[in-house]
């Protein structure tokens, strides 16, 4: 493959975060011209009516989406749509802009085809995202992943989520409550039953103000125990929200091929990519079995080819998302997965 043999080695000569913005800004320029936009869509977009899937009352052009964290400020939606994604999740956004954690904060594990990040919800804030979303593409589903500012206490976190919910409501198609990132101190404590129910119940009540109802989903960590996942099921059903995204990044470092010394030198952060696949699929299956049709699951974590995509769907996921593999496999991965799951038995 041209990407793996030529393009990726060149891109990997640059620091991870820098090359991300370099490539996405270049794609934004290319898709801005009709001829190159037509070429991009011809190469990577494989839309067919048979790929469409209705979930949460929304018509998704296909079942393959981009996970949150890639387009934090909704700056690259048009370029990403041209690459074939059926839905794009922007964010995580916080009410106020924040710089995130000090750089470097995004690291490649080449042997594992994985990433470690400790970005820390770096974003330009709610107002900046809203301005970008006013120019969103209309033929792709856009989700808004929302979080709290680092300096907002957990006791006041619900207000940050509600602020983002109201600000984005006219501009996105669904919401994701992110309480599972390991890179904001104390955030994962909001996955505990009491604070999580407070946030979700409040959001459900706030949603009642609108004539148009936006689905609300919860994103959970892969590091939860089965008992904790059981609590999540109970919370989702009790709160009345629409679904769960499983899973976010993991703090585990088990089974990596990268030397321990290199891992230790990187330090803290959430791991994504191939090593997460098995655990993420286990959580998707566990959730789907216990959901008993009461809510839907989006599967994400370690998907890197048609086989691992199909595993998530077979485990009960209604939709799937990719992130790290998009970096390691290149943009052609999306159309390969879409065609592959289209023809799966």
By annotation, the residues acting in catalysis are 181
Residue whose C-alpha is closest to residue 45's, from 34, 37, 53: 37
CB 300 within 8 A of CB 273: no
252 Cβ contact partners less than 8 Å away, ≥ 6 residues apart: 222, 223, 271, 279
CB 321 within 8 A of CB 89: yes
Please tell me the distance from the alpha carbon of residue 316 to that of residue 329, in angstroms, as a whole number: 25
Please tell me the distance from the alpha carbon of residue 210 to that of residue 215, in angstroms, as a whole number: 12
Please tell me the distance from the alpha carbon of residue 292 to that of residue 54, in angstroms, as a whole number: 18
230 Cβ contact partners less than 8 Å away, ≥ 6 residues apart: 290
The DSSP output letter for 250 is B
Please tell me the distance from the alpha carbon of residue 302 to that of residue 295, in angstroms, as a whole number: 23
CA distances to 93, 95, 159, 199, 271 from 206, rounded to whole Å, are 18, 17, 11, 11, 33
Q: Which stretches of the chain are DSSP H helices?
A: 2, 8-11, 16-31, 34-44, 77-82, 126-133, 157-168, 193-207, 226-239, 260-266, 277-291, 306-314, 324-329, 332-342
Query: CA-based angle 58:223:201, to the nearest 5?
Result: 50
Helix (H, G, I), strand (E, B) or coil at 233: helix
Cross-strand pairs, 299: 246, 320
CB 222 within 8 A of CB 246: yes
Establish how many alpha carbons lie within 13 A of residue 166's alpha carbon, considering only the half-sphere containing its beta carbon: 11
Please tell me the distance from the alpha carbon of residue 338 to that of residue 48, in angstroms, as a whole number: 10
């Amino acid at each position: 493959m041209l990407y793996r043999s030529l393009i990726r080695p060149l891109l990997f000569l640059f620091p991870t975060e820098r090359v991300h913005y370099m490539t996405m800004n270049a794609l934004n320029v290319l898709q801005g011209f009709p001829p190159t936009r037509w070429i991009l869509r011809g190469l990577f977009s494989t839309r067919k009516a048979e790929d469409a899937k209705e979930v949460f009352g929304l018509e998704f052009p296909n079942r393959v989406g981009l996970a949150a964290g890639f387009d934090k400020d909704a700056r690259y939606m048009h370029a990403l749509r041209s690459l074939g994604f059926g839905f794009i999740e922007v964010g995580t956004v916080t009410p106020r802009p924040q710089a995130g954690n000090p750089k470097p904060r995004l690291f490649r594990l080449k042997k594992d085809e994985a990433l470690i990040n400790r970005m820390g919800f770096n974003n330009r804030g709610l107002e900046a995202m809203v301005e970008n979303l006013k120019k969103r593409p209309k033929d792709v589903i856009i989700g808004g992943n929302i979080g709290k500012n680092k300096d907002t206490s957990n006791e006041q976190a619900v207000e940050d989520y509600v602020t983002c919910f109201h600000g984005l409501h006219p501009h996105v198609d669904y919401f994701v409550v992110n309480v599972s990132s390991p890179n904001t101190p104390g955030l994962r404590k909001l996955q505990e039953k009491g604070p999580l129910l407070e946030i979700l119940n409040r959001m459900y009540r706030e949603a009642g103000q609108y004539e148009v109802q936006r689905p609300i989903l919860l994103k959970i960590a892969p590091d939860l125990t089965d008992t904790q996942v059981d609590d999540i099921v109970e919370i989702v059903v009790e709160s009345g929200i629409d679904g769960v995204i499983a899973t976010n990044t993991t703090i585990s470092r088990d089974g990596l091929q990268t030397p321990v010394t290199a891992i230790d030198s990187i330090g803290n952060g959430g791991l994504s990519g191939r090593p997460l696949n098995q655990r993420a699929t286990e959580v998707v299956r566990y959730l789907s079995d216990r959901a008993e049709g009461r809510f839907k699951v989006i599967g994400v974590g370690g998907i890197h080819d048609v086989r691992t995509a199909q595993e998530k769907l077979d485990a009960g996921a209604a939709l799937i998302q990719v992130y790290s593999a998009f970096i390691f496999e290149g943009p052609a991965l999306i159309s390969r997965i879409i065609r592959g799951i289209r023809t799966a038995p």
